[in-house]
Amino acid sequence: MNTPGYLRRLGLPALLGAPASAEGLRALHAAHIEKVSYEALEIWLGRTTTVDPLESAERILRGRGGYCYHLNGAFSELLAALGYEVTRHVGGVQNRGGEPGVTGNHLVLTVRDLPSEANPGGAWLVDVGLGDALHEPLPLVAGGYRQGPFRYVLRPSQVAPGGWRLDHDPVGSFEGMDFGLEPARMSAFADMHRHLTTSPASGFVRVATVQRRDAYGVDVLRGLQLKRLGNGTQSVTLCTSRDYYAALADVFLLPLDDVSAEEKDRLWHKVRAAHESWSRAGSD
């Protein structure tokens, strides 16, 4: 992996060769969240991806993002290259109205042996793949945590013995996430990745979604509806392809330099048609 290039992508080249630290982990996590968007546009472009972390890292270096398997997979490789004790775990995101469970629809990371004044035990929940959730790592200690306008609760999981449960803020896009502490290989996520990228029941297939978190809130693009969540909610519908691609570039830092003009035209028509179909269904 091109570790120097990855750090430049995050705006943190000075961390190359620096000793692992809690402050370094916080800086890496926040920079990744702010500069690498949560997105699954490859599905809408008809491009196949895998859960290979090095493939994901190469795509991130090209200016793109990904979803949990890509983002946390690549980030775990970066952390390991920088000397952090990072472990991958199987997790499960519980959608609103759904049941909790460790379904494998999410890849979770923990980092250990990084004690700080606020976290003497030195274990951290690290997750740059939750879209509209964490901005910084959380101490792996039960309690409530506020990051910007959002509040999270970390507690023992009721469905993963010995594991953990993250309760999302009520305004978030999902209910919570559970994970066990057993180490996981990336191959554990291959089947679910195939389902999430191809099944008509998958949210990634049904709606073209892009999210980018910062210290003060989160920007969310679902179809053509652009929302800003933080202290209140602002919403606008993008009516032209020019507005759509300007939002991707300016709000989500996705200029799509790796996408041709023909591909952009096809993507716009697919997203617009899906959005119009969703709008008509909502008005019926």
Q: Output the 3-class SS for 89-106.
A: EEEEEEECCCCCCCCCCE
pLDDT band at 284 (very low <50, low <70, confident <90, very high): very low
State mean pLDDT over 36-51: 97
Q: What pLDDT score was predicted for residue 195? A: 97
pLDDT band at 282 (very low <50, low <70, confident <90, very high): low
State mean pLDDT over 101-117: 96
What is the Cα–Cα distance from 216 to 100, expressed in whole angstroms?
28
Q: What pLDDT score was predicted for residue 51? A: 97
CATH class, range 3-191:
alpha beta
Please give the CATH architecture assigned to the domain spanning 202-283.
Answer: 2-Layer Sandwich (3.30)
Mean pLDDT of the chain: 96
Res. 278: pLDDT tops 90? no
State mean pLDDT over 67-91: 98
Q: What pLDDT score was predicted for residue 77? A: 98
What is the Cα–Cα distance from 138 to 156, expressed in whole angstroms?
14
State mean pLDDT over 59-80: 98
Nearest CA among 202, 200, 183, 182 for reference residue 192: 202
Residues of the chain with CATH 3.30.2140.20: 3-191
What is the Cα–Cα distance from 118 to 114, expressed in whole angstroms?
11
- Could you tell me the end-to-end alpha-carbon distance of the chain, in angstroms, rounded to an integer? 50
User: What are the CB-based long-range contacts (under 8 Å, 24+) for 168-172?
Assistant: 168/133, 169/133, 171/229, 171/233, 172/132, 172/133
What is the Cα–Cα distance from 39 to 49, expressed in whole angstroms?
12
State mean pLDDT over 241-256: 98
Reported as a single tens digit per residue, the pLDDT across 178-225 is: 999 999 999 999 999 999 999 999 999 999 999 999 999 999 999 999
Residues of the chain with CATH 3.30.2140.10: 202-283
